[in-house]
Amino acid sequence: MRWDKNEVDVDVSQWRQEFVQDLPEQSNGFDCGMFMLKYMDFYSRGLDLCFTEEHMAYFRVRTAKEILQLRAE
């Protein structure tokens, strides 16, 4: 795979694929980005995906504060 922006070839053939069961799901049409951020956040920290759509309002506020403070907690 080529990443055109940096002209770097990335060999993804050695990447491990995982197919996660029972992902938290959204039922509205506007939380998809926050769900994706939280999937990456929790997964990168080795945490279970134990959040729900009800947590998204809190995550939006927390993410905005982290961006404004230029740090992630």
In this prediction, residue 22 carries a pLDDT of 87
Task: Note the pLDDT tens digit of each residue in 35-64.
Answer: 999 999 999 999 999 999 999 999 999 999
Across the strands, what pairs with 20?
A: none
Per-domain residue ranges of the chain: 19-69
Token output for 58:
């809190």
d(CA 26, CA 53): 6
CA dist 49 and 71 (Å) reads 22
pLDDT above 70 covers what percent of the chain?
A: 89
